[in-house]
Amino acid sequence: MEKFNKLTGIAAPMPLVNIDTDMIIPKQFLKTIARTGLGVNLFDEMRYTQDGAEIADFVLNQPAYRSAEILIAGENFGCGSSREHAPWALLDFGIRCVISTSFADIFYNNCFKNGILPIVMPQEVVDTLMADARKGANARQTIDLVEQTVTTSDGQVFPFDVDAHRKHCLLNGLDDIGLTLEKAASIDSFEQRAQAQRPWA
Protein backbone atom coordinates (compact mmCIF):
# COMPACT_ATOMS: atom_id res chain seq x y z
CA MET A 1 0.00 0.00 0.00
CA GLU A 2 1.28 3.46 -0.91
CA LYS A 3 2.07 5.65 2.10
CA PHE A 4 -0.01 8.71 2.81
CA ASN A 5 1.74 11.58 4.52
CA LYS A 6 1.01 15.03 3.13
CA LEU A 7 -0.92 15.88 0.00
CA THR A 8 -1.43 19.20 -1.78
CA GLY A 9 -3.79 18.94 -4.70
CA ILE A 10 -6.91 20.01 -6.54
CA ALA A 11 -10.17 19.37 -4.69
CA ALA A 12 -13.29 18.57 -6.74
CA PRO A 13 -16.72 19.51 -5.34
CA MET A 14 -19.42 16.77 -5.41
CA PRO A 15 -22.20 18.07 -3.14
CA LEU A 16 -24.73 15.34 -4.00
CA VAL A 17 -25.79 13.36 -0.90
CA ASN A 18 -25.85 9.54 -0.69
CA ILE A 19 -23.35 8.92 -3.50
CA ASP A 20 -23.40 5.11 -3.52
CA THR A 21 -20.73 2.67 -4.66
CA ASP A 22 -22.87 1.70 -7.67
CA MET A 23 -22.43 5.33 -8.83
CA ILE A 24 -18.72 5.32 -8.03
CA ILE A 25 -18.12 2.18 -10.07
CA PRO A 26 -21.08 0.50 -11.81
CA LYS A 27 -21.35 -3.27 -11.67
CA GLN A 28 -20.24 -3.97 -15.24
CA PHE A 29 -16.72 -3.02 -14.18
CA LEU A 30 -16.63 -5.45 -11.25
CA LYS A 31 -15.82 -8.33 -13.54
CA THR A 32 -12.13 -7.62 -13.41
CA ILE A 33 -9.82 -9.89 -11.48
CA ALA A 34 -7.27 -7.07 -11.01
CA ARG A 35 -7.25 -4.10 -8.65
CA THR A 36 -6.03 -1.56 -11.20
CA GLY A 37 -7.35 0.00 -14.38
CA LEU A 38 -10.72 1.12 -12.98
CA GLY A 39 -9.99 4.87 -12.94
CA VAL A 40 -11.25 5.41 -16.48
CA ASN A 41 -14.66 4.09 -15.38
CA LEU A 42 -14.86 6.00 -12.10
CA PHE A 43 -18.39 7.52 -11.87
CA ASP A 44 -18.96 6.01 -15.31
CA GLU A 45 -22.70 6.64 -15.71
CA MET A 46 -22.41 10.23 -14.45
CA ARG A 47 -19.27 10.87 -16.48
CA TYR A 48 -20.09 9.42 -19.92
CA THR A 49 -23.11 9.13 -22.18
CA GLN A 50 -24.31 5.70 -23.24
CA ASP A 51 -22.10 6.09 -26.35
CA GLY A 52 -19.05 6.72 -24.23
CA ALA A 53 -18.80 10.47 -24.89
CA GLU A 54 -17.82 12.66 -21.95
CA ILE A 55 -20.63 14.61 -20.26
CA ALA A 56 -19.08 18.06 -20.22
CA ASP A 57 -20.61 19.41 -17.03
CA PHE A 58 -19.71 16.44 -14.82
CA VAL A 59 -17.18 17.79 -12.36
CA LEU A 60 -14.27 15.46 -13.18
CA ASN A 61 -14.70 16.21 -16.91
CA GLN A 62 -14.27 19.94 -16.35
CA PRO A 63 -10.74 21.17 -17.23
CA ALA A 64 -10.16 22.48 -13.72
CA TYR A 65 -10.80 19.14 -12.04
CA ARG A 66 -9.45 16.51 -14.42
CA SER A 67 -6.45 15.91 -12.21
CA ALA A 68 -8.24 16.27 -8.88
CA GLU A 69 -6.69 14.34 -5.98
CA ILE A 70 -9.25 15.29 -3.34
CA LEU A 71 -13.06 14.96 -3.37
CA ILE A 72 -15.31 17.15 -1.24
CA ALA A 73 -18.57 15.20 -1.10
CA GLY A 74 -22.12 15.28 0.25
CA GLU A 75 -23.17 13.24 3.28
CA ASN A 76 -23.22 9.43 3.46
CA PHE A 77 -20.60 9.04 0.72
CA GLY A 78 -19.92 5.43 -0.34
CA CYS A 79 -23.19 3.89 0.82
CA GLY A 80 -24.50 0.61 -0.58
CA SER A 81 -22.45 -2.25 -1.94
CA SER A 82 -19.25 -3.32 -0.15
CA ARG A 83 -17.30 -3.40 -3.43
CA GLU A 84 -13.69 -2.41 -2.83
CA HIS A 85 -13.65 -1.59 -6.53
CA ALA A 86 -14.96 1.83 -5.40
CA PRO A 87 -11.76 2.89 -3.60
CA TRP A 88 -9.71 1.08 -6.26
CA ALA A 89 -11.38 3.21 -8.95
CA LEU A 90 -10.89 6.42 -6.96
CA LEU A 91 -7.23 5.58 -6.39
CA ASP A 92 -6.66 4.60 -10.00
CA PHE A 93 -8.10 7.95 -11.08
CA GLY A 94 -5.75 9.69 -8.65
CA ILE A 95 -8.05 10.53 -5.72
CA ARG A 96 -6.16 10.08 -2.42
CA CYS A 97 -8.52 11.85 -0.03
CA VAL A 98 -12.31 12.21 0.32
CA ILE A 99 -13.87 14.71 2.73
CA SER A 100 -17.53 14.55 3.78
CA THR A 101 -19.80 14.97 6.77
CA SER A 102 -20.28 11.18 6.88
CA PHE A 103 -19.26 7.97 5.14
CA ALA A 104 -20.82 4.53 4.97
CA ASP A 105 -18.90 2.16 7.28
CA ILE A 106 -17.67 -0.43 4.78
CA PHE A 107 -16.49 2.14 2.24
CA TYR A 108 -14.75 4.14 4.98
CA ASN A 109 -12.91 1.03 6.10
CA ASN A 110 -12.01 -0.01 2.55
CA CYS A 111 -10.35 3.38 1.89
CA PHE A 112 -7.75 2.86 4.61
CA LYS A 113 -6.80 -0.51 3.13
CA ASN A 114 -5.86 1.23 -0.11
CA GLY A 115 -3.96 4.33 0.92
CA ILE A 116 -6.96 6.66 0.65
CA LEU A 117 -7.71 8.98 3.56
CA PRO A 118 -11.43 9.58 4.23
CA ILE A 119 -11.97 12.62 6.49
CA VAL A 120 -15.16 13.37 8.41
CA MET A 121 -15.75 17.08 9.01
CA PRO A 122 -18.69 19.03 10.43
CA GLN A 123 -21.18 20.49 7.92
CA GLU A 124 -19.87 24.06 8.17
CA VAL A 125 -16.30 22.94 7.45
CA VAL A 126 -17.42 20.82 4.50
CA ASP A 127 -19.35 23.87 3.23
CA THR A 128 -16.19 25.99 3.46
CA LEU A 129 -14.07 23.34 1.72
CA MET A 130 -16.77 22.90 -0.95
CA ALA A 131 -16.79 26.67 -1.64
CA ASP A 132 -12.99 26.63 -1.80
CA ALA A 133 -13.01 23.65 -4.18
CA ARG A 134 -15.46 25.48 -6.47
CA LYS A 135 -12.77 28.11 -7.14
CA GLY A 136 -11.12 25.62 -9.52
CA ALA A 137 -7.67 24.29 -10.26
CA ASN A 138 -5.68 27.07 -8.67
CA ALA A 139 -7.40 26.53 -5.34
CA ARG A 140 -5.30 23.68 -4.02
CA GLN A 141 -5.99 22.23 -0.61
CA THR A 142 -3.43 20.58 1.63
CA ILE A 143 -4.05 17.48 3.72
CA ASP A 144 -1.48 16.84 6.43
CA LEU A 145 -2.03 13.44 8.05
CA VAL A 146 0.77 13.84 10.63
CA GLU A 147 -0.66 17.12 11.89
CA GLN A 148 -4.26 15.99 11.13
CA THR A 149 -5.18 19.22 9.37
CA VAL A 150 -6.83 20.36 6.14
CA THR A 151 -5.71 23.75 4.81
CA THR A 152 -7.78 25.64 2.24
CA SER A 153 -6.28 27.55 -0.66
CA ASP A 154 -6.58 30.78 1.33
CA GLY A 155 -4.87 29.40 4.40
CA GLN A 156 -7.76 28.44 6.70
CA VAL A 157 -6.75 25.42 8.76
CA PHE A 158 -9.18 22.79 10.04
CA PRO A 159 -8.21 19.88 12.32
CA PHE A 160 -9.63 16.39 11.83
CA ASP A 161 -9.79 13.14 13.81
CA VAL A 162 -8.45 9.81 12.65
CA ASP A 163 -8.09 6.48 14.43
CA ALA A 164 -4.49 6.12 15.70
CA HIS A 165 -4.03 2.59 14.34
CA ARG A 166 -5.31 3.53 10.90
CA LYS A 167 -3.17 6.66 10.86
CA HIS A 168 -0.09 4.59 11.71
CA CYS A 169 -0.85 2.11 8.89
CA LEU A 170 -1.46 4.88 6.33
CA LEU A 171 1.66 6.84 7.26
CA ASN A 172 3.79 3.73 6.96
CA GLY A 173 1.96 1.97 4.13
CA LEU A 174 1.55 -1.11 6.36
CA ASP A 175 -0.10 -4.35 5.34
CA ASP A 176 -2.70 -5.38 7.95
CA ILE A 177 -2.20 -9.08 7.30
CA GLY A 178 1.49 -8.91 8.19
CA LEU A 179 0.61 -7.15 11.46
CA THR A 180 -2.08 -9.68 12.33
CA LEU A 181 0.12 -12.68 11.59
CA GLU A 182 2.47 -11.38 14.30
CA LYS A 183 -0.38 -12.30 16.66
CA ALA A 184 -0.64 -15.88 15.38
CA ALA A 185 -0.08 -17.27 18.87
CA SER A 186 -3.14 -15.38 20.17
CA ILE A 187 -5.21 -16.76 17.30
CA ASP A 188 -4.00 -20.30 18.03
CA SER A 189 -4.94 -20.09 21.68
CA PHE A 190 -8.30 -18.50 20.87
CA GLU A 191 -9.07 -21.39 18.52
CA GLN A 192 -8.21 -23.92 21.23
CA ARG A 193 -10.49 -22.19 23.75
CA ALA A 194 -13.30 -21.85 21.19
CA GLN A 195 -12.96 -25.49 20.19
CA ALA A 196 -13.62 -26.47 23.81
CA GLN A 197 -16.49 -24.02 24.36
CA ARG A 198 -18.22 -24.09 20.98
CA PRO A 199 -17.04 -27.22 19.17
CA TRP A 200 -19.87 -27.01 16.61
CA ALA A 201 -18.53 -23.72 15.26
Partner 1 sequence: MTARTLYDKIWDDHVVHEAEDGTCLLYIDRHLVHEVTSPQAFEGLRMTGRKVRAPEKTIAVPDHNVPTTLDRANAATMTEDSRVQVAALDTNAKDFGIHYYPVSDVRQGIVHIVGPEQGWTLPGMTVVCGDSHTATHGAFGSLAHGIGTSEVEHVLATQTLIQRKGKNMKVEITGSLRPGVTAKDITMAVIGETGTAGGTGYVIEYCGQAIRELSMEGRMTVCNMAIEGGARAGLIAPDEKTFAYCMGRPHAPKGAAWEAAVSYWKTLFTEEGAHFDKVVTLKGEDIAPLVTWGTSPEDVLPITAVVPNPADFSGGKVEAVQRALDYMGLIPGQKLSEIAIDTVFIGSCTNGRIEDLRAAAAILKGKKKKDGIRAMVVPGSGLVRAQAEEEGLAQIFIDAGFEWRLAGCSMCLAMNPDQLAPGERCAATSNRNFEGRQGRGGRTHLLSPAMAAAAAITGHLTDVREMMAETV
Which span sits near partner 1 by CB under 8 A: 9-17, 57-65, 91-99, 147-155? 9-17
Mark 43-72 with x for binding to partner 1 (rule: CB under 8 A) and - for no binding: --x----x----------------------
Beta bridge partners of 158: 150
Closest distance of CB 103 from partner 1, Å:
8
Query: Of the ranges 3-11, 51-59, 61-69, 158-166, which one interacts with partner 1 (CB under 8 A)?
Result: 158-166
Go through 3-15 and write b for each residue having 16 or more CB atoms within 10 A of its CB, e for each that does not: ebeebebbbbbbb
**Among 115, 98, 109, CA closest to 43:** 98
Among 13, 38, 89, 114, binds partner 1 (CB under 8 A): 114
Our measurement of the distance from residue 87's CA atom to the centroid of its chain's CA atoms, rounded to an integer in Å, reads 6
Q: Specify the 3-state DSSP secondary structure of 3.
A: coil
* Residue 134 in the binding site for partner 1 (CB under 8 A): no
Question: Are 96 and 7 contacting, i.e. CB atoms less than 8 angstroms apart?
Answer: yes
- Of 61, 74, 66, the C-alpha closest to 9 is 66
Binding site for partner 1 (CB under 8 A): 15-18, 20, 22-23, 26-28, 30-35, 45, 50, 74-76, 79-84, 87, 102-106, 109-110, 113-114, 163-165, 176-177, 180-181, 183-184, 186-187, 190-191, 194, 197-201
